[in-house]
Structure 1
Amino acid sequence: MDHIMQAKTDAPAAGQAAAPKSALRRAAPLVAIAVAAILGAVFLRDVLSFDALAQNREALEAFRDAHYLATAAVFIVAYVAIVAFSLPGATIATLTGGFLFGVFPGTLFNVLAATLGAAVIFLAARWGLGAKLAQKMEAGDGVVSRIKAGIDENQWSMLFLIRLVPAVPFFVANLVPALVGVPLRRFVISTFFGIIPGGLVYTSVGAGLGEIFARGEKPDLGIIFEPQILLPILGLCALAALPIVIKALRGRKGI
């Protein structure tokens, strides 16, 4: 009888000990990404830079001409790592894609790699925090629950909107969907198509780097805010936001 009582006493203690370990395992991917981001900011800032690209452009072009498929594969893997671990140089990587592979297939390579890297962050965040947070938001009452319900009702529109708006940091657009329980498939599709406009602009700039290198200049990365570029992107933002506006108006009018 004493053995049975002792086993019952030990069971909760074992469960309590297992809980912190489980929490640590869930947080490990996010911690690894954070550590890699800090180390990358310290040690890779000068490596993943425009000056480094300019200095190594001839070697990169020679390797691409000799080993095109290998260059494409290495480029995509490197770009995925840059995005997944939030390393500095994502914009330089996009320019490099255009420089090495042209507008097409450079845009495809850039968008594919960025989407895969974003999916890694999304899964790490959902594994570490998102699932439990989404459950708490669904079970909660008041403002938090209403915010979660509003996002759920307009997931496609919201996902495309945060991808299209240039002011939304890419890292933030990867984390927020994970924290509100967005399905992986929906996240990947909206990311892939949502980043195409911006990716196309920067890849096009990268495709013209040969002339910029020849003049000893640096590319104008603010081109995305030029009216001829920004206005069409804002138009796409308006289209993405339209279903949200229509639902809001219908809700007010009781339609």
Structure 2
Amino acid sequence: MSDEPSAEEDIGETRSKKIPWAKIIVFAVVALVGVLVYWQYGDAISLDALAQREGQLQQMFQDHYFLTIIAAILLYVIVAGISLPGAVPLTLAYGWFLGFWLGLVIVSVGSTGGAVVAFLLSRYLFRDWIQSRLSDRFQSLNKKFEQEGAYYLFTIRLIPLVPFFVVNTAMGLTRIRTVTYWWVSQIGMLPGTAAYVYAGSTVPNLQTLADDGIGKILSWQVLLAFAILGLLPITLKKLLPLFGFSPSDTAKSTESDVVTDNE
């Protein structure tokens, strides 16, 4: 048999390296919609604007409890999904408006849902084209993420200093499973989400939050603590082999057992 690629493989490779104009147009439309939405309604989700409607929001929550919860989740999914500015003020406002526990649930569900939307947009719009141009680099990267993608993602998610859209876009280019991306993001973002929601729940009113600013509520010490928290998985991974425990050896042993059983 000849080792030379067939004509069909050549055609497939040529197509994969072509500029995906259809996907670029879709991305441009999504980006344009995001810009227009933020330009038209961006001020509406600012702390100052929400503070001016404080009484109306409370009344709406009392009159339309479940509808308000659904609307709050969808709003957060949209903001996070198309990477609009304002996620942090919105999180603080949810903490004040809904209380800690309900606010935590809604922000956690909404932020993870938005992360999955952004992740899928990145995957289906750009991954094939970028991998075709950087195939050698992406082969090694994909291999690492197939083996330990959940671990790396969990580490990144524990650090709220890493920009949200950067994580979503970068992870969409890998081969990490969507379900894995969802549940790891859900758990990994929970500590940071809890801190922001709790900070919002402690202020007496939204006007105080708007006047004082986010800096007085979330100090650099808190953010530094989360950065240190994010480094713990890496530290543990380096220290565990010193005590005779190797996660990779365990994984190989498990894989060997599975192969033996199948035989």
TM-score by length of 2: 0.75
Aligned to 2:194: 200
Shift, 1:202, TM fit:
1.2
Aligned to 1:8: none
1:238 aligns with 2:235: no
2:149 and 2:209 map into 1 onto residues whose CA distance is 46
Kindly, what percent of the aligned residue pairs are identical? Answer: 26
Shift, 1:159, TM fit:
0.3
> SS state of the match for residue 212, structure 2?
coil
1:33 and 1:188 map into 2 onto residues whose CA distance is 22
Shift, 1:160, TM fit:
1.2
> SS state of the match for residue 85, structure 2?
coil
Letter in 1 for 2:89: I
Gaps of 5+ in 2: 1-11, 250-263
Gaps of 5+ in 1: 1-14
1:123 and 1:30 map into 2 onto residues whose CA distance is 12
Shift, 1:212, TM fit:
5.7
Shift, 1:235, TM fit:
4.2
1:108 aligns with 2:113: no
Q: Is the 8 A contact 1:64 1:71 kept in 2?
A: yes
Q: Is the 8 A contact 1:82 1:117 kept in 2?
A: yes
> SS state of the match for residue 217, structure 1?
helix
Aligned to 1:160: 154
2:149 and 2:230 map into 1 onto residues whose CA distance is 14
1:152-209 C-alpha deviation (Å, 9 max, x unpaired): 4331221012212232100001111111121101111111111111111111122133
Shift, 1:24, TM fit:
3.8
1:69 aligns with 2:66: yes
Q: Is the 8 A contact 1:80 1:114 kept in 2?
A: yes
1:99-154 C-alpha deviation (Å, 9 max, x unpaired): 221001111100100111111111111111124545765x52xx554344334433
CA 1:212–1:89 in 2, change beyond 3 Å: closer, same or farther? closer
Q: Is the 8 A contact 2:96 2:205 kept in 1?
A: no
Aligned to 1:210: 204
CA 1:52–1:135 in 2, change beyond 3 Å: closer, same or farther? same
Letter in 2 for 1:149: K
State the aligned residue count: 233
1:168 and 1:201 map into 2 onto residues whose CA distance is 16
2:19 and 2:206 map into 1 onto residues whose CA distance is 52
Q: Which moved more, 1:214-223 or 1:93-102?
A: 214-223
Q: Which moved more, 1:103-112 or 1:218-227?
A: 218-227
Q: Is the 8 A contact 1:133 1:180 kept in 2?
A: no
Which of 152, 155, 178 lines up with 1:184 in the alignment? Answer: 178
Q: Is the 8 A contact 2:158 2:188 kept in 1?
A: yes
1:40 and 1:92 map into 2 onto residues whose CA distance is 17
1:136 and 1:244 map into 2 onto residues whose CA distance is 32
1:172 and 1:215 map into 2 onto residues whose CA distance is 27
Shift, 1:213, TM fit:
2.8
CA 1:95–1:62 in 2, change beyond 3 Å: closer, same or farther? same
Which of 105, 122, 125 lines up with 1:125 in the alignment? Answer: 122
Q: Is the 8 A contact 2:108 2:186 kept in 1?
A: yes
Shift, 1:243, TM fit:
5.6
